[in-house]
Structure 1
Amino acid sequence: MLNRPVGSPSFPPSRSYEAQSEPLDELTIDLDRLLGAAKRQVRVILAACGIGLLLGVGYLLTSQPLYTATTQLLIDDQQVRFGETESGLNVRFDAAKIDSQVELIKSERIALSVIDKLGLMDDPAFMESGASILGKGVGAIKALFDFNRWLGIETELSEDEKLARQRQALAIIEDNLQVSRSGLTYVLSISYTAPVPRDAARIANAFGEAYLLDQLEAKYDATRRASTWLQSRIQELKEQSLTTDLAVQRFRAENNLIMADGTLLGDQQLADMNSQLILARAATAQAEAKYSRIADIITRGQMDAAVTEALNNPVIADLRSKYLEASKRYAEISQNLGASHIQAVKFRNDMTEYQKVIFDELGRIAESYQSELAIARSREKSIQDSLATMVGESAGTNETLVALRELEREAETYRNLYQTFMQRYQETVQQQSFPVTEARIITEAMPPEKPSHPRKALVLALSLVLGGMAGVGAGALREFRDRGFRTGEQVRERLGLEFLGLLPILPHRILKPSGNLTAGGNTTRFIQPTDAVMRQTLDAPLSGFSETLRAAKIAADLMVGDKKVKILGTVSIFPGEGKSTVSKNFASLLANLGARTLLIDCDLRNPGLTRSVAAKAESGLMEVLLDEQSLKGALLVEPDSKLFVLPAVVKQRISHTSELLASPAMRKLLKDASESFDYIIVDLPPLAPVVDVRAITDQIDAFLLVVEWGKTARQTVRATLAHDERLREKCLGVVLNKVDTQAQKMYEKYNSEGYQYSAYSRYYSE
């Protein structure tokens, strides 16, 4: 572990670097990130929109225009109310039944009727309208080789071929037919789409007519089936009615139940006798009342009382007149001459004689009343006796009458059913001869003037939208697949290491070799870079590239502290990330700043640094480690910066490179070099393919991690560092190499990462 100097800034706290997936916050929606992603993928989105628009235009240019004609039907049951009956054959339509009519129009029965009526199966244009481009091509080829057609020979189609053509015609009809209900009305719209406007109108109208005809035929079939059933049922009811009537008559004859005017003769006689008894009792009561009255008058001697017979009797009337005349004379004489006068006595005697004669006459009337009373009582008793006899006889036939009434009810039921069905049958026959449908055509289809398909504006808009969606999807996929480091924020969040800056991608420029130079009469070997990128910090010391490496120097000084010699290792995850270029420029920067610097190429398996700056070197690190040559004798010098370079000349493939780097000879080399240099920059092999870095980790004071911008996966870097905690702790920071400066602007929120993007870079950079 390294001890940080007091006052040095602390790096972000380290995280647990396990080989695991990216943290969930990477998927958190951020408006700035979304806008940045959209800005980065705008070319992809625009290209996809353009492709979609071109495809839409191509579709419009190659697609066949189609025309849609519409026929409208009105389902109106009010017009047939006069033809409705109680049979329930006609019922008011509701929403479900309207929807059922829609399905009926779309049924195969109606479609087959239209196909047969218009002869669509024999129409080549119609049969080929539903075929694909491939199908039309195959059909054209078949027609080309149809010799019977060229010779004018008509071939008879088999049943299977006819059925196949019928199914093909049905499929075309189903694909182009549309039936819908207009809102909540009783209006149905029948639309058909065809390449020819006249055909579209003709087929749409044919569907409306076929539906009306089907309705008429359905009603006719229904009434015909109903009349047939009613006729058979009427015959059954007729036979049952006759059978039950005969049973009633037979039962009456067997039980002597004679009817008169619809009533049993015994019942009629009993009713008549009961009426006579009532009249007899009334006559008896009347005779008894008359006799009682006249007997009471006679008993009391009431001269002023009268009965009907007395008033109508001339003898009594004459006597009463004489009595009144005598009474009147008696009263006058008594008043004038006195009651004892002889005339008064005479008239009083006459009055007594008249009174006696009157009551004698009343007695004879009373005797006649008494005789009438006796006769009435005798007649009443006779009728009552006869009635009692008849009631006794009637009681014996009640049980028989119960069975008779049951038979009569059954006969009446069958008779009513027979009459009802006869009436229904007559009504059904009338309906069969006068069929009426509830539907009528209110708008006939006319050949359309403008095509309904394709809709150009809609197709273009949809193509543009779909292209945009495809572009967004492609852009999102590209963003999702972009697993490399793009910003310093990603470095800090994902790795927990210090971000040192961005190194822009540099253009390659081949340098001409200058040969060996001499100084002071001594021949000194110099490095000879083959590419100008290896001299970037020397050629452009104020560039953003150089400024990032200065930040790395400051981080190294702060991390290693006051140690006399700082051994710094440059590493990367994979080969080709520019590690050797960074090592060379970093070392040249340190040397150019006046520090005694040694650059060692320790990548013994792929010495890219040596090939770039000392391709003609004959000895190097291997010779020093094997004690074949001294360190001083193997060094090369950069003339401009006085940088010393120890190349790695590998003459044959070495399998034990990690053992060489961890050997005592390597330790001795670094120790000897520490006596002469302030900085020792070690260009190490990549971390992922080999384990050489782990072998030399203890001898390195700090590591500079070089990551290729946008290429090296973040998860791979995390996993690699998680496997070597010592290396991570000694890592002074990360630089992102090979940065596309124009593309980088789309990833930075504030365009402030790195010196080259600062608002002040134009004043301080080259």
Structure 2
Amino acid sequence: MDRTRALQQAGEPAGGGFPDPYAVIRALRDRWKAIVAIAAAVVLVTAGYAFTATPVYTAAAKIILDASIRQPFEDANSATRLSNDPFAVDSQIAVISSASVLRPVVEAQGLVDDPEFGDGGGGGLLKTLLGGLLGSPVPGPQEQEERITNSVRALGKALSVSRQGATYVINIAVNSQSPSKSVHLANAIAQGYLAEQQRSARERADRLSEQVDERLISLRERLRETEQRVQQFKAENQLQSTAEGTLLVGQELDGLNTQLVEARSALATADASYREIQRYLQRQVDPTALGDVVSNPRITQLLEQYANAVRAEASLSTDLLPSHPTLQRAKAQVQRISSLIRDELRAVGEAKKVERDVAQERVANLARQIDSLRTNSDASEEQLITLRELETEAAATRTVYENVLGRAKELGDLEQVTVPLARIISPAEPPEGPSWPKKKILLVLAGVLGLMLGTGLVVSAEVWRQVRAEFGPKLRAGAPPVPVPQSQPQAQSAREVSGLPVIGVLPAIDGLKPRHLDQLDLKSSARLAYRILATDDISGLPAPAANFETAVSGLNTRLLAGHREGENMAILCVAPHLGEGLSLAAFSLALGAAAEGLNVLLVDANARDKGLTRLLDDSASLRTLTYSERIVSNRLFDLSFLSLVSGAPKHRPPELSEGQLEELGEIAKGYDLMFVDAGTIEDARSLEPVSALCDRVLVALGGPQDVHSRLSTLDPALRAVAGTSPICVVQTRVA
């Protein structure tokens, strides 16, 4: 796996590719004034519109649709029309916005001649002059209708009808240039809607009443015809009805059947009594065995006497001998009464026989009468079926007629009493201020849109620049490489500037020319340096990237001039000020030396920046560890790194004890080359013990400024830092 893939797997942004987001961010930071200017221009244009536009006022009236209202004569147990219809409120909103409600408002308020909602009698200067000379023509019916339609359409555009949440409350809002006019129109539309409800309810009741009346007339004629057919059929077939509506033949047959049942019952009773009496007379049984068969007063009296005589005989037989005269008289008395009972029973038996014969004759007569009537009834069965069909049809017609008649009476009463389903709960009131234009909101939105527009323009320009930088060389394939301008400072290994040698130039690898040198990002630049020096992949990078590797190699060659194999060397890197590209130069030189096979240690002693520490070792504070324990080997950059400022106070150079200096010296002996980022020259003067460990001092000067004048000013301070160590200069960030 090559180094580029290792960099991607580590999750670090490579930077410097196409498109380069870091370059876009820098462009936004550099051109923030242009973005603000564009936003200010948009705000000014919007403010001009907001303060010159004609204000619009909105007034709203609220009405409620009462879902609990029932019309008179409606069923109290059934659901109301509003509660049963899920689209009832939406339907009423459409009604309020319809021409049936708006047209009466237009006509009543005279909006046809209103300048805002109608033509206002105007039509331009020419029409006004012609009207003054020739007189105003009276509009015809068609033209007047068109004017009314246009006014209704204009009022509909100014009207806004909405439902308040999920309630039955409807807001009726009207926009107008006059606050009082918006109030009048909103209230007029609300009143017009209520009037339209009453009118539509009356029209609906009238139409329904007319339809019911027409239906009643047809039902009345049909009922008369069916009843006439029933009477005509009875007369033709000689069928007579009773008061209960049944046929007379059927009633007679029912009466005879009842009489026949009664006669047969009487016959059975008489026959049973006669047979019982005959059994008594034939068997010579005791008279007390008759029971209740014979209900005759005389026999009842004789039976009582017989019972007394039998008891007297029984009582005497216990005390007297059978031959005793008294007992003989008692027995004779019993025999005499029993003979009387038999005689009386014979007379009753004759009477029962006569009664049985009469009952038999009556049953026979009734049976003959029933057979005769049944014969006549069977003969007219078909006429009876037809009659029943005619009577059923007549009864059904009468039922429908009575129901419709009752409904017609209810509708007649309903025309007089109609309860409105809606009412006004909040009439429109004069608005406190115009609803449009909303100056504050417009200005805030204008500012946001202006910032977005300016940002978009800057981003587009930067992306276009990157596109040209990326694809321009490919389009110019075969052309010779662009030479470095002669005005750029060149490496001057042999030339002395104020006694200090300039050993080389590091180009700006991001290809930008920032206004402020400290605006370049060390992290993205370090990734670009790694990509150039360690992976040899410069595809898609700006033109200066091609010379960067050569420049680093040349600088390391000059720095290590006279270095013997097996010896170690320490280089102290300083800069006059922050933002000179010192940290990037130290990192690039260390990385280039490591790429050539040297064992390199990079030390961060720059307390003001700490950029290398954030880049190479972003772990927690290392103050509790020794320097040897702090050393980390970066798996991406193939070099060792030691931070002397991790966990130390910012803007204060690290203070090293004698033990730490000795430890740092021992550590330096274990590496071929050690680069120390000491920060500014002023801070490096506080690191004099560290400077004593270094063999050479490297000064980074950023940009193509006048090197002679700057070094002339810095020469005394550099001599104080370097002591007897040689000093060399490198120019950084040269575009």
Give the counterpart letter for 2:199 in structure 1: E
Give the aligned partner of residue 51 of structure 1: 41
Number of residue equivalences: 500
Give 2:150's aligned residue: 168
Aligned partner letter, 1:84:
E
Aligned partners of 1:245 and 1:411 also within 8 Å: yes
Paired amino acid for 2:322: A
- Aligned letter for 2:60? T
Q: Relative CO higher for 1 or 2, CA cutoff 8 Å, sep ≥ 6? A: 1
Q: CA deviation digits over 1:381-432, x for unaligned, max 9?
A: 2212221222222222222222111111111111111111111111111111
CA RMSD, 1 decimal: 4.3
Whether the aligned pair in 2 keeps the contact of 1:333 and 1:339 (CA below 8 Å) is no
Q: 1:273 aligns with which of 250, 256, 260?
A: 256
Aligned to 2:402: 419
The 5 Å alignment of 1:668-707 reads: none
How much has 1:92 moved relative to structure 2?
Answer: 2.9
Structure 2 Cα separation of the partners of residues 374 and 183 of structure 1: 97
Aligned 8 A contact 1:111 1:173 in 2: yes
Residue 165 (structure 1) shift: 2.6
SS of 2:167's equivalent? coil
Query: Does structure 2 retain, via aligned residues, the 8 Å contact 1:71–1:445?
Result: yes
Q: CA contact under 8 A between 1:492 and 1:499: conserved in structure 2?
A: no
> Counterpart of 2:265 in structure 1: which amino acid?
A
Among 431, 441, 451, the alignment partner of 1:448 is: 431
DSSP-derived class of the 2:69 partner: helix
Q: Distance in 1 between matches of 2:18 and 2:382?
A: 100
Letter in 2 for 1:254: E
What do residues 570-609 of structure 1 show as CA deviations (whole Å, max 9, x unaligned)? xxxxxxxxxxxxxxxxxxxxxxxxxxxxxxxxxxxxxxxx
- The residue number in structure 2 matching 1:294 is 277
Q: In structure 1, what is the Cα distance between the partners aligned to 2:501 and 2:346? A: 174
State the Cα distance separating 1:182 from its structure 2 match.
Answer: 0.3
C-alpha spacing 1:323/1:417, structure 2 compared with 1 (3 Å): closer
Counting only pairs closer than 5 Å after superposition, residues 83-122 of structure 1 correspond to structure 2 as 83-84=73-74, 91-93=81-83, 94-122=85-113
Describe the SS at the equivalent of 1:260. coil
Change (3 A) 1:101 1:328: closer
Deviations 1:179-216, CA, capped at 9 Å, x for gaps: 00000000000001111110000000011011011111
Counterpart-to-counterpart distance in 1, 2:388 and 2:224: 17
In structure 2, relative to structure 1, the CA distance for the partners of 1:388 and 1:547 (3 Å cut) is: same
Which runs of structure 2 are paired with 1:223-242 in the superposition (5 Å)? 223-242=205-224
* 1:383 correspondence with 2:366: yes
AA paired with 1:418?
Answer: Y
CA distance in 2, matches of 1:297, 1:30: 143
The answer (yes or no) to whether the contact 1:547–1:755 under 8 Å persists in 2 is: no
Q: 1:160: Cα distance to partner?
A: 4.7
Q: In 2 relative to 1, CA 336–139 (structure 1 residues): closer, same or farther, beyond 3 Å? A: closer
CA distance change for structure 1 residues 73 and 505 in 2, over 3 Å: closer, same or farther? farther
2: CA distance, partners of 1:326 / 1:105: 114
Aligned pairs for 1:422-571 (under 5 A) are 422-482=405-465, 503=485
- Say if 1:299 and 1:543 are closer, same or farther in 2 by CA, change over 3 A: farther
- The answer (yes or no) to whether the contact 1:503–1:548 under 8 Å persists in 2 is no
Residue 161 of structure 2 aligns to a residue whose secondary structure is strand
What is the alpha-carbon distance in structure 2 between the residues aligned to residue 755 and residue 106 of structure 1? Answer: 77
Kept in 2: contact 1:75–1:187 (CA 8 A) = yes
Cα deviation, 1:295-343, whole Å, max 9, x if unaligned, reads: 33333422213455856333x4564465456545544654444112344
Work out whether residues 80 and 437 of structure 1, in 8 Å CA contact, stay in contact via their aligned partners in 2. Answer: no
Q: Is the 8 A contact 2:65 2:169 kept in 1?
A: yes
Moved more, 389-398 or 210-219: 389-398
Q: CA deviation at 1:71?
A: 0.3
Matched with 1:75 is 65
Q: State whether residues 58 and 431 of structure 2, in contact with CA within 8 Å, keep that contact through their aligned partners in structure 1.
A: yes
2:197 aligns with 215
Post-superposition shift, 1:30?
5.0
1:368 aligned partner: 351
> Deviation string for 1:108-144 (max 9, x for gaps)?
2222111011111122354379xxxxxx9x945346x
Partner of 1:191: 173
Structure 2 gaps of 5+ residues are 5-14, 489-494, 510-699, 712-728
| Distance across 1 between alignment mates of 2:304 and 2:294 | 13
8 Å Cα contact 2:276/2:293 also seen in 1: no
Matched, 1:305 2:295: no
> Which residue among 124, 127, 134 is the counterpart of 2:115?
124
1:357 aligns with 2:348: no
State the alpha-carbon separation in 2 of the partners of residues 337 and 139 from structure 1: 157
Cα deviation digits, residues 558-578 of structure 1 (max 9, x gap)? xxxxxxxxxxxxxxxxxxxxx
* One-letter identity of the residue aligned with 2:354: S
TM-score computed with the length of structure 2 as normaliser: 0.60
Preserved CA contact (<8 Å) 1:53 1:467:
yes
Mapped partners of 1:150, 1:186: distance in 2: 56
Provide the residue aligned with 1:745 in structure 2: none
C-alpha spacing 1:492/1:119, structure 2 compared with 1 (3 Å): closer
Return closer, same or farther for 1:219/1:89 CA change in 2, 3 Å cut-off.
Answer: farther
Q: Contact 2:19–2:466 (CA<8 Å) still a contact in 1?
A: no
For the residue of structure 2 that corresponds to 1:156, the secondary structure is coil
CA apart distance, 1:280:
1.1
Identity %, equivalent residues: 28
> 2:51 aligns to what?
61
Structure 1 contact 106–179 (Cα < 8 Å) conserved: yes
Deviation at 1:462, TM superposition (A): 1.8
Sort the Cα spacing of 1:171 and 1:475 in 2 relative to 1 into closer, same or farther, 3 A. farther
* Residues 121 and 128 of structure 1: CA distance in aligned 2, closer, same or farther (over 3 Å): closer
Contact map agreement 2:113 2:119 (CA 8 A) in 1: no
AA of the residue aligned to 1:224: D
Query: 1:4 corresponds to which residue?
Result: none
Confirm whether residue 206 of structure 1 aligns to residue 188 of structure 2: yes
- SS across alignment from 2:81: coil
The 3 A distance-change label for structure 1 pair 423 and 758 is: farther
Q: Which amino acid is the alignment partner of residue 312 of structure 1?
A: N
The secondary structure found in structure 2 opposite 1:80 is coil
Report SS of the residue matched to 1:70: strand
**Distance in 2 separating the partners of 1:278 and 1:61:** 112
Letter in 1 for 2:167: T
Is this contact kept in 2: 1:309–1:365, CA < 8 A? Answer: no
1:408 corresponds to 2:391: yes
Question: CA separation in 2, counterparts of 1:760 and 1:373?
Answer: 165
248-257 vs 27-36, which deviates more? 27-36
SS at the partner of 1:338? coil
Distance in 2 separating the partners of 1:371 and 1:425: 71
**Matched residue of 1:246: which SS?**
helix
Match of 2:160 among 178, 199, 206: 178
- Matched residue, 1:245: 227
The answer as to whether partners of 2:242 and 2:248 remain within 8 angstroms in 1 is yes
Closer, same or farther in 2 for the Cα pair 1:259/1:29, shift >3 Å?
farther
**AA at the equivalent of 2:296:** N
Question: Is there any run of 5+ residues in structure 1 with no aligned partner, and where?
Answer: 1-11, 13-24, 130-135, 507-537, 552-753
Q: Structure 1 residues 477 and 328, CA, compared in 2 at 3 Å: closer, same or farther? A: closer
* TM-score, normalised via structure 1 length: 0.58
Partner AA of 1:68 in structure 2: T
Q: Any idea what the Cα deviations from partners look like across 1:513-571, whole Å, max 9, x if unmatched?
A: xxxxxxxxxxxxxxxxxxxxxxxxx9x99999x9589x9xxxxxxxxxxxxxxxxxxxx
Task: Find the aligned partners of 1:392 and 1:55 in 2 and give their Cα distance.
Answer: 113
